[in-house]
Amino acid sequence: MTEILRVENLKKSYDGFLAVNGVSFSVEQGELKALIGPNGAGKSTCFNMLMGQLKPTEGDVWFDGEKITGKLPREVWRRGVGRTFQITGTYQSMTVIENVQMALMSHHGKLFSIQPRAWKLYREEAFEFLETVSMQDQADRPCSILAYGDLKRLELAIALTHRPRLLLMDEPTAGMAPSARVELMQLVADIVRDQGVSVLFTEHDMDVVFAHAHHIMVLNRGELIADGNATEVRNNPQVQEVYLGGGTLFKEAEDA
């Protein structure tokens, strides 16, 4: 397996407070990797530094052998990284399918084109991406009236349009009903398997994490305290301390 993302000694300080303190890890090609940790552990900060939404105070990010530290989100996107956000940011004034078409227009370099009828552009292609996330029935609904879970799925479809090699998903299932969570993560797992995309995601729902992630990293107070497969992480005493103050972790998941 080849390494697609490498993070070295990443740090972010806010007025002296180290939100992320020297985090290093890597993500392999075709891997589904989770980054978990209690609230305030620094997951989102860490995430935002990977794609350039935030500038790291120190440390480097490498994507496919190229250093991308300090690059703008759109530059990182052009290199083949997609992402979804914790709080969805879709285009409210467009229909569902137009949101996907917009991403395709960007992918095909049509942003400054004034050719007519943008709503017909790449419509079939966009429709296929909507099918991937089972949103085809809602293609022509205004985005502003979608249910939250559907917005999350739409974001996933958008993130897939430029056939990224790495997908960053910040709490992909937050705010969704339990059954929908499982469904969405299953979908992501399928995409990883079928398309060879690597996915790095943060998550609070441990059922989701332990059921699907190949590897799990645990972040606490800005530092990585574990990085391994489900069993290793579950048996890591430091992780148990953080999550339960001792005791066995995620017994139910194990039984399931």
Partner 1 sequence: MAFLFAQFLTGLANASSLFLVASGLSLIFGVTRIVNFAHGSFYMLGAFIGVTLMEILPGHFGFWGSILLTGLAVGVIGAFVEIVVLRPIYRAPELFQLVATFGVILVIQDLALMIWGAEDRLGPRAPGLRGVWRIFGEPVPKYDIVLIAITPFILFALWYLITKTRVGVLVRAATQDREMVGALGVNQAWLFTGVFALGSALAGWGGALQLPKGGADLLMDFNIIGAVFVVVVIGGMGSLPGAFIAAVLISVLNVLGVTYIPQSTLVLMFVVMAIVLIIRPYGLLGREEVAGEHGQVGAPETPIRPYGPTGQAVIAALLLVLAALPLVVDQFVLILMIDMVVFALFAASLHFILGTGGLVSFGHAAFFGGGAYAAALLVFHTGTPMELAFLFAPLAAGLLALGIGWFCIRLTGVYFAMLTLAFSQLVWSLAYQWRAVTRGDDGLVNIWPSDWLSETIPYYYFTLILGIGGILFLRHVIHAPFGYALRAGRDSPRQAEAMGINVKRVQYAAFALAGVMAGLAGGIFVFSKGSVFPTELEIAASFDALIVVFLGGVKTLAGGVVGAGFMTMVEDWLTRLEYWRLLLGLVIIAVVIIAPEGIVGSIRTAWNKYRGTEEEIAK
By rule CB under 8 A, what string of x and - marks binding of each residue 186-215 to partner 1? Answer: ------------------------------
Site for partner 1 in 13-52 (CB under 8 A): 51
Q: How far is the CB of 73 from partner 1 (least distance, A)?
A: 5
Q: Is 55 near partner 1 (CB under 8 A)?
A: no
- Binding to partner 1 by residue 162, rule CB under 8 A? yes
Site residues (CB under 8 A) for partner 1, limited to 106-135: 106-107, 110-119, 121
- The yes or no reply on residue 78 touching partner 1 (CB under 8 A) is yes
Q: Is 182 in the site for partner 1 (CB under 8 A)?
A: no
Tell me which of 23, 102, 208, 217 binds partner 1, using CB under 8 A.
102
Query: Is the separation of the CB atoms in 201 and 192 below 8 Å?
Result: no
Kindly report the number of other CB atoms within 10 A of residue 75's CB atom.
Answer: 13
Burial (Cβ within 10 Å: 0-12, 13-18, ≥19) of residue 175: middle
| By CB under 8 A, residue 171 contacts partner 1 | no
Stretch that binds partner 1, among 6-14, 25-33, 154-162, 238-246 (CB under 8 A): 154-162
Phi-psi region of 46 (alpha: psi -120 to 50; beta: other; left: phi over 0): alpha
169 binds partner 1, rule: CB under 8 A = no
List of long-range contacts for 226-230, beta carbons under 8 Å, 24+ apart: 227/25
Dist. CA 230–CA 248, nearest whole Å: 13
Contact predicate 61/67, CB 8 Å: yes
Least distance from partner 1 to the Cβ atom of residue 11, Å:
23
Q: Contact between 94 and partner 1 (CB under 8 A)?
A: yes
Place of tokens 């917009």: 102
Q: Which is nearer to partner 1, 72 or 244 (CB)?
A: 72
Q: Which residue is associated with the tokens 């292609």? A: 125
**Rounded distance, CA 197 to CA 146, Å?**
27
Beta partners for residue 170, in sequence order: 202
Query: What is the spatial distance between Cα 218 and Cα 46, in angstroms, rounded to a whole number?
Result: 12
Q: Which residues pair with 67 in a beta bridge?
A: 62
Q: Nearer to partner 1 by C-beta: 158 or 166? A: 158
Residue 67 or 74: the one with the smaller Cβ distance to partner 1 is 74
Footprint on this chain of partner 1 (rule: CB under 8 A): 51, 53, 72-74, 77-78, 82-83, 85, 89-95, 98, 101-103, 105-107, 110-119, 121, 141-144, 158, 161-162
